[in-house]
Each structure stands twice: as structure tokens, then as C-alpha cells.
Structure 1
Amino acid sequence: MADGIRQDALTDRVYESVKAMVMDHEIAPGARVSIEGLARQLDVSATPVREALARLESERLVVKRANAGYRATDLLDSDALLDLFEMRLLLEPRAASLAAENASDDELRQLRSLVEEMHRQPDLGEKYSDYRRFAALDQEFHDVLARAAGRPLLADAVNRLHAHLHMLRLNSAPGSVDATVAEHQHILDALVQRNPDRAADAMARHLRSSRVRHRPQPSARGRAASRRVPTGGTPRRRPS
């Protein structure tokens, strides 16, 4: 049992390390990912690296190519970002409307707890390690709300977008923290009031504001990343 726990902890540590490299562009967008190179860099065997990459593939941060190993996925361009938000605007306001009708008291408590914890997060830096917890809370808020809608296929569709990860790779931090938390609070207020129309409207306004905050833009991190040599590949400049 102890060996299994240690192995799980090692796999989680390797996963978080490689994920941070992808999010911070230490592994450049589009670059080949070397399992052996990562194993040497992290001083582990190849097994936890393979397991980490399989998890990252499910999040669409890396892609596995036949007979060619893994590579980091490309960044969203402006058209792909627009597609992502159009999909979210189709799904998430509807989920919020249904959640206002169907959310259990426990789910509302979960959402309130998430908003309160987001309020307590410290000032965020530019590295993924600085804003990882805030990003996880942000994603969990949307996932819990989608589940509260009572429509499993809808919740699964929202979760599978992995929208936050792909947006955060475009910029160096999650945008305006205060604005994000305030918008989540407006959504929560509408859910607590059991007001479907207001909940849908609050979610739509949140997504439109988020679309503006996450427009691709040059950053210090992006410029630095373009000069790094990624694991197993050559540097690539982020799109303008």
C-alpha cells in the first residue's frame, strides 16, 4: 500500500512539473516532447513521465502522434479562441439557467466556498506555479455549476473544453482576478435566488468579459519563452 501511495505521489509530482513546463512555455507550443529528456531532467524513470503525458493528452495540452511521440499542442489563434468562446456561450449560460432551477443546497455551498477561496488568493505572478490554485478554483467553479444543471452530457461537454488551460497559455496570468471573482459572485447570487434568466445573463456577461481579458497579447513570459530551448525541440515564437 505504501509503495502504491509513493508511486501515485511521484506521478502527481511529475505531472505537475511537466504541466508547468507546458503552461509556462518552457516546452514551447508545437515542440516535440522527449520522454527520455524529461526523465533525465526530473531525475525519474520514464514510467511516471509517460503517465503524466497521458494525463496531459486528456487535457489537450500535448498530443500523441503515431510513431513520433508527443508534442505540445499549438496555442489557440484568434479564430480558435473565438470558436472556444462561441461554444462556451452556447453551453454555459444554459447550464447556469438549469443550475438555478436544479442545484442542490450542497452544490450551492460548494460554489459559495469556491468563490470565497478565490477571494482569499494572494496576488498572482506570471508563472503557472503562482496562479495554479486560482486557475483550479476558477475551473472547478464552472465544472460544479455545470454538474448542478442536472444534465450529465452538458456537464461533460463543458468539462471537456478544458477552456481555462488553453486560455491561460495565451497570457501570463488569469487576467483581472477581482473582475473574475466579482463576476462569479454575480452568477452565484442569481443561482441562490433561483433566477434562471439572471443566472444565464450573468454567465454570458462573464464569458464575454473573459474573452476580452484573454485575448492573445505579447508578454514578458512569452518573449522569454521564445528564447528557451524546449525539451526535445527548437524554440518557436508565440503568435502575435
Structure 2
Amino acid sequence: MTTEQQAPAPEIAVTRGRKAQPPIGGEVYEELLSRILASQIGPGGRITIDAIARELGVSQTPIREALHRLEADGVVVRTHMAGYRVAPKITREQFENLVEVRLLLEPAAARRAAERVTDDELAALRSVADSMTPSMIATSGERGYALFSQRDALLHDAIAEGGRNSFIRDSLARLHTHVHLFRLADHANITERAIGEHAEIIAAIGRRDPDAAAYAMRHHVEASAERFRTAFD
């Protein structure tokens, strides 16, 4: 069934059978993102601001701020007189186009990072990578997968930043790659295998080996694409 043929999902009561703690700011964003990535609010599902505000025990302001941010990420869409709904997942064609663009940009970003990254930036890269562990996902409960996707995005952005090419970095940022991909599946092997691939990329950057860094990034993008393609099978 194509995106155009998909009927909007019914309005969803966003409860979990437990008393919610009152998150604010970025925590509201993480909460909503985790529900979307876990398909607790499916494609087309309506997001009711006042209902979520009551459930989380916060004002409508941080809810609206989170929704604006999710809209910028392409995760939710706002329609006239209908409020916010979860955006459709990307189609197979969009997915393949996204992979093609990543293969053009990300190996180049890794190559440049190996040539130009500072010692402080390299240390920051390693810190982000070290925080992305299976135990982090397990101990974070329902938010674990969303947190991993955010740190994955942070790691790739830091590599692009270290490459000192603002055009590559801005282009990758506008793709919102990680949110779109992580909406496709939530299998453990997607996160566990990525951890090892990240380590290879950072090791090559740390050796200041541009060819190895570009190769490791290309391998990671291609392997990641194979893992996510199962969502379309």
C-alpha cells in the first residue's frame, strides 16, 4: 500500500498504565520521539496537545515546542484545522534515494574528518561512541531506542563537523537521516552492529587515515542500509 493509500490512524490515547513523571523541554521531545519510534503512535496517528499535557503533567508550551522540533525533523506534520499527526514512514524509493545521498556525502565527511579533526573533537567523538552501548539501551527502558537514534545522529554530525565542510554537514542535517531510518525498525541488531561499525570509523579517524575512514564509513552506510531494508520485505 502506498503512502497516499494509507488511511489515517485513529486518534490515540497516549497512556501506559502508569503515573507519568513531569518531563519538560527536551524530555518531552524524547518522550514523543520514543513513542513514535516504537510505533506506540503510528503513522497518521493524531497527537492531541492537551491530552499529552495532562498525561505528562506539564503545560502545553513544552508540548508545542517538542512538536515544532519534530515537525522540523519531518516526524510529524501539521495540517490546517486538524493539528498534528505522525508523518508516514519513508517509502522504499525514498529510502533508496536517501542511501544514495549518504554514500555520496558521508564517506567524504569521514575522509575530511581524518584529515582535519582536532584532538578535542576526536575525544568528543569517542565519548559519544562510548555512550552508545547495549546496556545504555537496556537501562533506558522505553526511551532506549530513541536515545540511541539521537546519539547516532550526534555522532554522524560530529564527524561531519570535524571535516570542516559546512556544505556537507548542512546537507546531511537536512536529510534527518537517523529519525527516518530508525522509524523503520527497532531490531536489536540494528543498534548492536552499528556500535562496532562506529568504532572502526573512529579508529580510522584517530589514526588520521583518510582512506580507511572513508572505507569504514561506506561499509557502515551500506551495512546499515541492508539492515533497514528488511523493513520493506
Give TM class, smaller chain. Answer: 0.7 to 0.9
Structure-2 residue corresponding to 1:184: 198
Structure-2 residue corresponding to 1:222: none
Q: Secondary structure at the match of 1:198?
A: helix
Is there any run of 5+ residues in structure 2 with no aligned partner, and where? 1-22
- Contact persistence 1:57–1:63 (CA under 8 A): yes
- Which amino acid letter does the alignment assign opposite residue 195 of structure 2? V
Q: More displaced, 39-48 or 92-101?
A: 39-48
TM-score by length of 2: 0.80
RMSD: 2.5
Q: Structure 1, residues 157-191: CA drift from partner, whole Å, max 9, x if none?
A: 22222212211111123534442122112111221
Structure-2 residue corresponding to 1:114: 128
Whole-Å separation in 1 of the counterparts to 2:133 and 2:139: 16
Is 2:71 aligned against 1:57?
Answer: yes
Structure-2 residue corresponding to 1:220: none
- Which amino acid letter does the alignment assign opposite residue 99 of structure 1? A
Q: Structure 1, residues 19-68: CA drift from partner, whole Å, max 9, x if none?
A: 22222222211223222332333343332221111111121111122333
Q: Structure 1, residues 132-157: CA drift from partner, whole Å, max 9, x if none?
A: 33333322211100000101121122
Structure-2 residue corresponding to 1:229: none
Whole-Å separation in 2 of the counterparts to 1:166 and 1:137: 14
Is 2:58 aligned against 1:30?
Answer: no
Structure-2 residue corresponding to 1:4: none
1:63-102 alignment, distance < 5 Å: 63-102=77-116
- Contact persistence 1:104–1:148 (CA under 8 A): yes
Give how far 1:83 is off: 1.2
Whole-Å separation in 2 of the counterparts to 1:171 and 1:120: 16
Higher relative contact order (CA 8 A, sep 6+): 1
- Contact persistence 1:14–1:48 (CA under 8 A): yes
Whole-Å separation in 2 of the counterparts to 1:29 and 1:216: 18
1:148-187 alignment, distance < 5 Å: 148-173=162-187, 175-187=189-201
Structure-2 residue corresponding to 1:133: 147
Structure-2 residue corresponding to 1:205: 219
Whole-Å separation in 2 of the counterparts to 1:127 and 1:57: 25
Is there any run of 5+ residues in structure 1 with no aligned partner, and where? 1-8, 218-238
Structure-2 residue corresponding to 1:215: 229
1:41 pairs with one of 55, 59, 70: 55
Identity over aligned pairs, percent: 37
Q: More displaced, 132-141 or 58-67?
A: 132-141
Gap change, CA 1:120 and 1:175, over 3 Å in 2:
closer
Give how far 1:96 is off: 0.7
